[in-house]
Amino acid sequence: MIKSFASDNWAGACPEVMQALIDANSGHAPAYGADPYTKKAESDFKNLFGDQAEVFFVYNGTAANIITLASTTRSFNSIICSSHAHINVDECGAGEKFAGTKLLDLPNTDGKLTPEMILPHVAAERFPHQSVPGIISITQATELGTLYSVEEIKAIADLAHQYNLLLHVDGARIANAVVALNSSMKEMITDTGVDILSFGGTKNGLMFGEAVVFLKPELSSLFELFRKQGMQLASKMRFISAQFSALLANNVWEKNARHSNQMALYLGQKLAAIPEIQISQKIETNGIWAIIPEALAVKMQDAQFFYPWEEARNEYRIMTAFDTSEEEIDRFIEKITR
C-alpha cells in the first residue's frame, strides 16, 4: 500500500464514504438527482449551513468553481481573484472558456486578498471598454496553506456587497480551514455573508464529488442549466450524494480534516527540527511549505514522494491526508535522518 505526501488527492476514499457507496448500490434510483440519497444530502447541507442553503453536486472542484462563476456572472464581467488562485493558475483557462470572463488576478505573497487590494478595482468608474467586476473569489484554505480569519472573510463580503458584487469561496479545503480556526461552517461561511461556497469533498476523503452551496438561494436559479450545459450533471447522482451524507454524518468531515491538519503539524515540527530545512509558510492546515537543499529533498522524495513548489528557491510542498499516520511520519523521519 503506497503512501505519499504528494497531495490529499493521492489518498482514496475514507472508510465511511466507501461504506456509503456500497450501501447506496442497491437497486434502481431515479437519475440526475431525483433520488432519495440526494434529498437526504440536501437536507444534511441545510443542517450544516442553515435552512436557506441550496446545494448542488458536481464531479470535481474545477467544475464547482467554474460553473458557479459562469452561472452568476455574464461574459463582460471580471472575476477578481488572487494571482495564486486555483481558478487562475490550475484550471487551464476553464473560466475564460466556459464563462467567457476575464480573471482579474491580484498579486500577493500569501495567497490572500484584502479589501485594500480589491477596492481600487471595484470602485473605479465603469464604462464599456473594460470588463465589469462581477464577483470576488477567494480560496479558504488558500493555495499556499494560509487562512483567512472569519473577520477577514466578513470584511471582503461586506466590501463585495457594498459594490453589488458577490463573494465566492473556493473551499476545496474548507473543512481544514474550519477545523484549524476552531470555527463552524455556519460561522465562517453563512454568517460572514459569503454568497456561494465550493465545498470540497475529494480532498477530504471522497472518492469523487464536490458540492456547490448557495447561501443566498435566489442566486442558484440558473445553476442546474449551466451544470448540464457544463457537462457536469451526473446521471447516477446518488453516488455523489451518498458520499456527502457519509462525510457530513457524525462529523466525519471534521475528523478527517482535523487529523490531516494534526499530521501536518506533527510532521512540520519534526521537519523544522532538521537544521537544513526551513519552513517557509506558517503551517495552518494540512500542507507544509519548506525550503530544502536539493540533495536532501531528493532523498526525502525517495522515502515518500512530494512535489516541488517553487523550484527556483528549492521550495517544496509536503501534504498530509485523512489517512496519514504518525507511524508513517515517524518512519519517514527516521529514513531521512538516518
Q: Is 54 in the site for its own copies (CB under 8 A)?
A: no
Contact 288, 279 (CB under 8 A): yes
Strand 166-171 relative to strand 132-139, pairing: parallel
Binding of residue 207 to its own copies (CB under 8 A): yes
Cis peptide before 141 (omega within 30 of 0): yes
Among 94, 169, 174, 180, binds its own copies (CB under 8 A): 94
Helix (H, G, I), strand (E, B) or coil at 118: helix
Residue 268 CB, nearest approach to its own copies (Å): 19
Which one of 40, 46, 216, 236 is in contact with its own copies (CB under 8 A)? 236
Which residues inside 56-75 make contact with its own copies, applying CB under 8 A? 59-63, 66-67, 74-75
Q: Is 220 in the site for its own copies (CB under 8 A)?
A: no
> CB-wise, 70 or 188, nearer to its own copies?
70
Q: Does the protein bind its own copies through residue 316 (CB under 8 A)? A: no
Does the footprint of its own copies cover residue 221 (CB under 8 A)? no
Q: Which residues contact 287 (CB under 8 A, 6 or more apart)?
A: 145, 264, 281, 317, 318, 319, 320
Q: If binding means CB under 8 A, how many residues of this protein chain bind its own copies?
A: 75
Residue 100 found at the interface with its own copies (CB under 8 A): yes
Of 40, 61, 42, 59, residue with least CA distance to 50: 42
Q: How far is the CB of 330 from its own copies (least distance, A)?
A: 17
Out of 47, 93, 273, 282, point to the residue binding its own copies (CB under 8 A).
93
Q: Are 79 and 103 in contact (CB under 8 A)?
A: yes
Residue with the three cell numbers 477596492: 119
How many alpha carbons fall within 13 Å on the CB side of residue 45?
28
Q: Is 90 in the site for its own copies (CB under 8 A)?
A: yes
Tell which positions 107-166 bind its own copies, by CB under 8 A: 107, 128-132
